[in-house]
Amino acid sequence: MENSFIIDKIYKAFNQDILKMDTASDILSFTVASPVIYEVIRFLKENENMNFGFLTDLCGIHYPDRGLPFGVVYHLHNLRENKRIRIKTFVTLGNPYLPTVTDLFSSANWMERETYDFYGIIFEGHPNLKRILNVEYMDFFPMRKEYPLEDPTREDKDDRYFGR
Partner 1 sequence: MQPFPLPEPGWGTGSGVNNMEENQYTTLNLGPTHPATHGIFQNVLTMDGEQIIDADQTIGYIHRAFEKIAERRPYYQITPLTDRLNYCSSPINNIGWHMTVEKLLGVKTTKRVDYMRIILMELARITDHLICNSVIGVDSGALTGFIYVFQEREKVYEIYEEVSGARLTTNMGRIGGFERDLSLKAVKKIREFLDHLPKVLREFEKLLMRNRIFMDRTIGVGPISGERALNYGFTGPNLRAAGVDYDVRVTTPYSSYDDFEFTIPLGTQGDTYDRFCVRQQELWESIGLVRNALENLPEGSFHVDVPQFYLPPKEDVYSKMEALIWHFKIVMGEIDVPAGEVYHSVEGGNGELGFYLVSDGGRTPYRLHFRRPGFIYYQAYPEMIRGGVLSDAILTMSSMNVIAGELDA
Closest CB 57 distance from partner 1, rounded Å: 5
Q: Tell me: does residue 162 bind partner 1 (CB under 8 A).
A: yes
Helix, strand or coil, per DSSP, at residue 54: strand
CA pair distance 32, 103, nearest whole angstrom? 20
Residues 28-57 that bind partner 1 (CB under 8 A): 53-57
CA pair distance 7, 86, nearest whole angstrom? 12
Candidates 1, 7, 19, 27: give the one binding partner 1 (CB under 8 A).
27
How large is the greatest C-alpha to C-alpha distance in the chain, in angstroms?
Answer: 56
User: What letter represents residue 153's amino acid?
Assistant: T
- Which pairing describes strands 28-32 and 83-91: parallel, antiparallel, or unpaired? parallel
Q: Tell me: does residue 154 bind partner 1 (CB under 8 A).
A: no
Q: Tell me: does residue 132 bind partner 1 (CB under 8 A).
A: yes
Q: Tell me: does residue 18 bind partner 1 (CB under 8 A).
A: no
Residues 57-86 that bind partner 1 (CB under 8 A): 57, 59, 61-62, 73, 75, 79, 82, 84, 86
Neighbour-count burial for 44-72, b at 16+ CB within 10 Å, e otherwise = bbeeeebbbeebbebbbebeeeeebbbbb
What residues line the site for partner 1 (CB under 8 A)?
A: 25-27, 53-57, 59, 61-62, 73, 75, 79, 82, 84, 86, 105-107, 109-111, 114, 118, 132-135, 142-143, 149-150, 157, 162-164
